[in-house]
Structure 1
């Protein structure tokens, strides 16, 4: 038995020993692996739960629905609004803590309504050492179980387990919530979130894979991965993206020549501003 196989078995046995679990589920690779392990271990007593809000792109919600169906796990969707929290809207360097507290609170309420005592998330063994991660504080405070972390399963091993379960998201790039595109200190508003989502949907439609559209109070700063930068510099793309993003309400449109970087609108270039509040603490942006 390989090390990864042993860790997979330990995590599955851990979940199988519980009466049931609710998984904070984004459809990203980390939470999908936890969902697959839980479904394998508990069958109908495992429930994936996705929290829908203004910061969750519609495309990610559809992905979560699709992956839950792929796994065969029961999938619940709950709705709430981070924008009802003044602390979240303020967008200081603890934004992810406020977001995660609210999201996991929705998971705990769902679990209670289902008579389930355990809520799990997708924190993996690499996350605690990956910079300032305020969302992890919420996980600890709310006593949420992180089976990947508990059994020392790294991000690379998560992807191997995803391949073992033949999950389509095994190689999916990480996706953080839309608020991570707004610089710390600039308020999170529905208008900003909407134009960011629409702008990124266009880039996805145009065939870009790893990218972000950062909203600097009306200035769109586009980041794409280094291997896609040459295409982004083509005049036809420049003219099209400028016209389309202007229609969405951006006053200026720029291309960041550094390319895609995690945490590039956060204090001290922290890696955590882009935690995935969609529900995987591990994701980045």
Structure 2
């Protein structure tokens, strides 16, 4: 029998209620926000800690926004950081790099949990994450972290609806992810490239485009916006070229397929890759 969203939310509550004290890896996105809110409801504020992790591969504004949201929710917050660009396996930007990135994150969270006596580390992975190339799932499983939204079989649309019912303002927040996802496999990651795509996306966002990705291809930028926004974007062609050229891009293009999640993974083979762990 197919379960309703209400049934799944009840399952989520039962899963959380069976835990003791939990750390939530909190990004401020809709998925981890639902985990944090439901953990707070089931376990009480004293047994829940939101850990917000700063990274060179994510926007500083995302970090600050997550801290502010957790505080507004009345949850205790711990601010910390990881240095992904210190790991050559991550800098190399191979498909396996995502595994090492998540391994670094979960190891850091597990260390905090051990030091402070928390029984579980929770993340915000959802059922939709099973449908894309997600090496982080392997790192999660190896670390013993719990993806309680997956355990409750919740999909993105259900997560958004539940978060809206809980009157949490990020229920319709666009998905965000590591800025490294804009850089094609095989092109090494460094702060300069991250800054280029970050500043380019911020500029386009200020033009009124809420959902945008700027994919890095050496001296060329490939802009993705939803298909229905392409014509509106092209009206800004001159200022786009001028601004992105000032950031170091010689060529600026618009992807006619429009925005889509994980477009850099389209070059990967159809068969799942085997992550080699050293």
Alignment TM-score > 0.5, same fold: yes
Deviations 1:158-208 (A, max 9, x none): 112111211111112211110000001100111100111111111112211
Deviations 1:142-166 (A, max 9, x none): 1101111112122222112111211
Unaligned runs of 5+ in 1: 272-285
1-side partners of 2:191 and 2:6: how far apart? Answer: 44
Matched residue, 1:98: 100
**What is the CA-CA distance between 1:91 and the residue it aligns to?**
0.7
1-side partners of 2:248 and 2:25: how far apart? Answer: 33
Matched residue, 1:200: 201
> Larger RCO: Structure 1 or Structure 2 (Cα < 8 Å, ≥ 6 residues apart)?
1
Matched residue, 2:60: 58
Matched residue, 2:247: 248
Q: Secondary structure at the match of 1:169?
A: helix
1-side partners of 2:250 and 2:79: how far apart? Answer: 35
**What is the CA-CA distance between 1:72 and the residue it aligns to?**
2.0
Q: Secondary structure at the match of 1:214?
A: strand
Unaligned runs of 5+ in 2: 271-278
Q: Secondary structure at the match of 2:127?
A: coil
Q: Which moved more, 1:78-87 or 1:11-20?
A: 11-20
Query: Would the aligned equivalents of 1:46 and 1:73 in 2 still touch at CA under 8 Å?
Result: yes
2-side partners of 1:122 and 1:14: how far apart? Answer: 14
1-side partners of 2:11 and 2:74: how far apart? Answer: 22
Q: Which moved more, 1:173-182 or 1:105-114?
A: 105-114
**What is the CA-CA distance between 1:270 and the residue it aligns to?**
7.7
Q: Secondary structure at the match of 1:266?
A: helix
Q: Secondary structure at the match of 1:261?
A: coil
**What is the CA-CA distance between 1:228 and the residue it aligns to?**
1.2
Q: Secondary structure at the match of 1:56?
A: coil
Matched residue, 1:274: none
RMSD after superposition = 1.8
Q: Which moved more, 1:60-69 or 1:90-99?
A: 60-69
Q: Displaced runs of 4+ in structure 1, greater than 4 A? A: none
Matched residue, 1:183: 184
Matches within 5 A, 1:8-27: 8-27=9-28
**What is the CA-CA distance between 1:119 and the residue it aligns to?**
0.1
